Amino acid sequence: MIFNIALKDLKVIARDKKALILLLIMPIVITFILGAAFGSSFSKRGLDITVFPVAVVDKDGGDQAKAFIEDFLVKDLSSLFTTQIATEEEAFNLLNSEKVSTVIVIPENFTDNINNGENSIIEIKSHINQQFNSNLVSSVVNGYMQKLSLGNTGANAAIETSQEYNLPLNSEDGTFEAQGVIQELQIRFNTDTLAFTESNQEKNKSISSIQYYSAAMLIMFLLFGALRGARMMIEERETRTLGRVLTTRANIATMVLGKFLGFFIICTCQALVLILFARFVYGVYWGSSILGFTLLTLSTIFAGSAFAMFLSSISKTSEAADGLGNILIQVFTVLGGGMIPVQLLPQFMQSLSRLTLNWWAMQGYVDLMFGRDLITILPSVGVLLLMGVLFLGVGITKLRLQ
């Protein structure tokens, strides 16, 4: 019965030519227009990874810490962020005032632990408003530490093997010593790490305007798709068709779930068309993580469908839902960076943008387009699901009361 309601909605919308133009043709056209209009400005500043400041607290002071800061952070990653060395207190003051997005804390005994082949954990602290930059820092630091750990493992294996076969490890004998083995291997592995990180970042260092607006318009028009569903539901309420459904074997829960599933299926079909069109006609690169992309898109659709359910529960007429929905979707889109990147908005708007599902979805798509993995977009997915649950909860409660 739930599927019957949902599939009927899909059939109804598929026969509505105006809806199809709004939901499929409009986003394709607007993406093209915005992509072309902002193309030049994007290549100058728009969505390149902009250099941002980070603070480093060195509690160790040893050679390994120095190598990590000077060779890795300051020198090799200068194109990603600027590094400022500070005391712990200074660093956290800078973080709280958002003068740096992230603080990297090198623990005490870092050098000794590394030299002895033991693990050591570098802490990453970030401001809640700077998740994007923080994820980037975490990603490169984790890469560095993993390779360092591999270096240690390799060196230890080399030493153990030498000892087993009584190979001399003393430099006085004209060979090399254990410490030297470790350092040599570490240098080699670290070089590989940098090469990997650099090439990976370089490959996806900027996204094109058509890529950006394909994601932005996908989110905006998914919300319009859901709004269309909400409007259909209210029209059915106005013509008492929804009431008639309740005189059949369906109860309120069946009806609400059927409508929600209908919204979800409509938006999923719409997303599929828009994503494939952008991929094969505009050549949009949606990222390398298919799982991450699918999860993010489904979370966005879930949140959008729940938003539609909420909207239909608070609107008395289809005209009211249309009016309110249009305003909210456009405000969400602007705040969420759907028209111009959020970084170009005034600070107070940037703070408000976190309240919109567009912003979280957009952050996720941008992360994926920069080549990041599933783990990076999990916060976005989580917030979108949470928003969906909240919208759905309020919507269902209000509908039950009605």
Which residues are near another protein by CB under 8 A? 1, 4-5, 8, 11-12, 15-16, 239-241, 243-251
Tell me the closest approach of the beta carbon of residue 9 to another protein, in angstroms: 9
CB nearer to another protein: pick between 1 and 257: 1
Rounded distance between C-alpha atoms, residue 212 and residue 286, angstroms: 10
Burial (CB < 10 A; 0-12, 13-18, 19+), residue 354, is middle
Tell me the closest approach of the beta carbon of residue 249 to another protein, in angstroms: 5
CB nearer to another protein: pick between 265 and 377: 265
**Side chain identity at residue 196, one-letter code:** F
- Phi, psi angle pair for 38, to nearest 5°: -100, 5
Tokens representing residue 217 in the block: 């318009």
Segment holding 83, helix H or strand E? strand 81-85
Tell me the closest approach of the beta carbon of residue 14 to another protein, in angstroms: 9
Tell me the closest approach of the beta carbon of residue 247 to another protein, in angstroms: 5
Rounded distance between C-alpha atoms, residue 46 and residue 26, angstroms: 24
Rounded distance between C-alpha atoms, residue 389 and residue 391, angstroms: 6
CB nearer to another protein: pick between 17 and 44: 17
Tell me the closest approach of the beta carbon of residue 5 to another protein, in angstroms: 8
Tell me the closest approach of the beta carbon of residue 19 to another protein, in angstroms: 10
CB nearer to another protein: pick between 9 and 76: 9
DSSP 8-state class, residue 75: I
CB nearer to another protein: pick between 156 and 254: 254
CB nearer to another protein: pick between 250 and 329: 250
Rounded distance between C-alpha atoms, residue 226 and residue 369, angstroms: 25
Tell me the closest approach of the beta carbon of residue 250 to another protein, in angstroms: 6
Rounded distance between C-alpha atoms, residue 242 and residue 113, angstroms: 68
Rounded distance between C-alpha atoms, residue 261 and residue 9, angstroms: 9
CB nearer to another protein: pick between 168 and 243: 243
Rounded distance between C-alpha atoms, residue 134 and residue 137, angstroms: 5
CB nearer to another protein: pick between 4 and 78: 4
Tell me the closest approach of the beta carbon of residue 236 to another protein, in angstroms: 8
Tell me the closest approach of the beta carbon of residue 22 to another protein, in angstroms: 15
Q: How many CA atoms lie within 13 A of 351 on its CB side?
A: 4
Rounded distance between C-alpha atoms, residue 274 and residue 132, angstroms: 26
Rounded distance between C-alpha atoms, residue 258 and residue 264, angstroms: 10
- Phi, psi angle pair for 98, to nearest 5°: 60, 25
**Side chain identity at residue 353, one-letter code:** S
CB nearer to another protein: pick between 16 and 202: 16
Rounded distance between C-alpha atoms, residue 71 and residue 66, angstroms: 8
